[in-house]
A and B are shown apart, each in its own frame.
Chain A
């Protein structure tokens, strides 16, 4: 039992994060205070939200490169709605954001499910289309802070028990999707469809449909994050969260999600996102140029995927009895 715990990826990653924090603490104790850690968590919340969605997609042997563009498009739509109708209740804004994100995710899902187009092609395509649509609807203009209603901007920043709503959203998402992935038949189907598509078909699971739902979930989370992002930073324009999809994939790979499908957990995605979030927030503190961040996450992806591959080398069939005993 203990052995299994130590070997688990999540434990390894928690250890790495602790080590990282200890290193920073030894030089800059101020970084590791509850208030600042809450701050870091809050700052990482969008990455956590998207990483959960991405993990679910990757579990089904797909990839969603359109999440950041989905986020930006949804963000632009809700901020323009806010400008046009400042009185609209925030609850409705959230519903619109989630709804639009879901719809965009479903477009990806349908193309993958019904037309069997490779997910990387679909989402590379929708990524550019979504970005282009932002320009079309906004005419390339920014929606600035002073144009947004106070309530629109206040929602993600409202603090409850020391953590802003943005952070709480990530907490709730982690809990909800942990339950979905372990306690519902959809969650089990997602693991089965990615882990062994053929066996999943034999067990009565529709693999394409499961992939469709994975993209839908990823889209819904991207839409929700879209609203939270533009309201938190109080600005919306074509290029927000540009290239963020790579951070999201990086968080998943670092969190032990296998690109071959079927392997990964919500907690893993959370830890992977936190790892990147802590580095990003610590860089200015330890006086390293923020320009290092891109290279560090790239390096982390490569190291993580190499470690994943090593841990999952398939063992061959064993014929010799002697070898069976020894193993």
Chain B
């Protein structure tokens, strides 16, 4: 049994306010990972509650539970202080809970009005959808939130910011009592963000309870009334924004003493192995230049959507840069496909393990040898004994836990899947390994193993690039850190200059 954390009685959070929606001691497990362990959250009408935490702290799991997509394994959900369950998304919607997701999950081919009213359109004669009323009401709602959008337009003709507004309009159309905003400003411009703030204010004045999820401290301090901080699937702190400082929040988010759990390593960089000059892409990133030495770990920090992964994928040959050049060991390299990158000794451990990293329905040994088929075959014919030997060598180096090498990767835990992906790349004997959020969705135990192994790789002379949104990981592992914001490098920090506050400030542009 999991112990309940310091329990708050649902009706008492020190303010005497009643919550329209509350979670009490909610637990959610996934194979190999406990995503949430006994968390509580209270949403008060007319108040904005900020949910704060690092990636992987359990925020998106909470959103999915609140909207009926996931069912909790333990704990209670309360609507108007009465225990309730949301067995399906539409039940959550019936209770007036609506979410505006990070990636707008709406229908490109339908009109704006149809998107707003899908599933609850006004009916006219013969029970048919009353198009006129639907468009008129859409126009009213869109005007009320100050969005200059033609309701008859197709959604696909709108930019991301306006799609967000449509999602908000949809939330208002079902007479929502709880509005969840998951990183609503991630893709918005300054002006659009200001408009969003005004909108949040007006939602507050209409008595809606708002859950606001954001990485950006400036906006949290600007619009939130209350906060709740999650870390590693647990609730760490809660209270009124007025009683807390930015430093307090960062401390709660990051929590532990960073140096203790990361491997101690002496920085001992060798000669330059990778040099990137002026890499640019028409829409994703611009003017990226840096060098990387053997045995070095270079961290890339930034907020979600800062363009880090997009740059790494260009470096790995998935997308083509519009400008810029790279040198490997002092020789200019042409990389137009992942096969080129691998040949040049650059490998990439992607963030999306299930889609890009591993082939889940193939056995472990076939995953490990996939990029190295040339080494375990003669004239294109596979040699099974050599294949197993190669797979064994690298999976054992990573201390993989599996029943056998012909087990399908999809049946392994997140941490062991990640080990298979890393083993796959080490088997190609790379010069530079790029790790994109290497410990996302990985349980604590495996996290330490991945970190330890990363240190070992660097000690053996491999150059490591680590993209991470987790501050402790960045601080604990990197020799240098490059911070990116809106597709550009904002600053580069040496080990001595790296502090959580500095990183957060540069990344958010405060």
Contacts and interface: CB of A to CB of B under 8 A. Distances in A.
Chain A–chain B contact at Cβ < 8 A: yes
A185 B119 contact: yes
B93 interface: yes
Give the size category of A's interface with B.
20 to 34
Nearest to B111: A182
Interface of A: 4, 179, 182-185, 188, 191-192, 195-196, 198-205, 262-263, 316-324, 327
A320 B284 CA distance: 6
Interface in B104-124: 105-110, 114, 118-119, 121
B498 interface: no
A310 B89 CA distance: 35
A316 B283 contact: yes
Contact of B109 (A203, A263, A327): A263
B118 A203 contact: yes
Contacts of B307: 319-320
A323 B282 contact: yes
9 contacts: A185-B121, A188-B119, A191-B114, A195-B110, A204-B93, A319-B306, A320-B286, A320-B486, A321-B486
Nearest to B91: A204
Interface of B: 67, 69, 88-90, 93, 105-110, 114, 118-119, 121, 127-129, 131, 153, 157, 159-160, 187, 189, 282-286, 305-307, 310, 486-487
A319 B283 contact: yes
Contact of A196 (B105, B153, B160, B282): B105
A202 B69 CA distance: 7
B92 to A, nearest CB: 9
B126 to A, nearest CB: 9
Nearest to A205: B119
Nearest to B114: A188
B284 A185 contact: no
Contacts of A179: 128
A320 B187 CA distance: 10
Given A192-B118, A319-B284, A185 B129 contact: yes
Contacts of A322: 286
Nearest to B319: A316
A199 B105 contact: yes
A263 to B, nearest CB: 5
Contacts of B131: 182-183
A321 B127 CA distance: 46
A183 B133 CA distance: 12
B323 to A, nearest CB: 13
A88 B414 CA distance: 68
**Sorted from nearest, which 3 A-B pairs have the closest CB atoms?**
A204-B90, A199-B105, A323-B283
A318 B109 contact: no
A182 to B, nearest CB: 7
A202 to B, nearest CB: 5
A184 B129 contact: yes
Contacts of B118: 188, 192, 203
Contacts of B486: 319-321
B189 A204 contact: no
A321 B287 CA distance: 14
A185 B120 CA distance: 9
A192 B283 contact: no
B108 A196 contact: yes
Given A191-B110, A319-B283, 17 more contacts: A4-B157, A179-B128, A182-B129, A188-B119, A202-B69, A202-B89, A204-B88, A204-B93, A262-B109, A317-B305, A318-B284, A320-B284, A320-B285, A320-B286, A320-B487, A324-B283, A327-B159
Nearest to A265: B109
Given A183-B131, A188-B129, A321-B486, A204 B119 contact: yes
B128 A324 contact: no
B89 A324 contact: no
A259 to B, nearest CB: 14
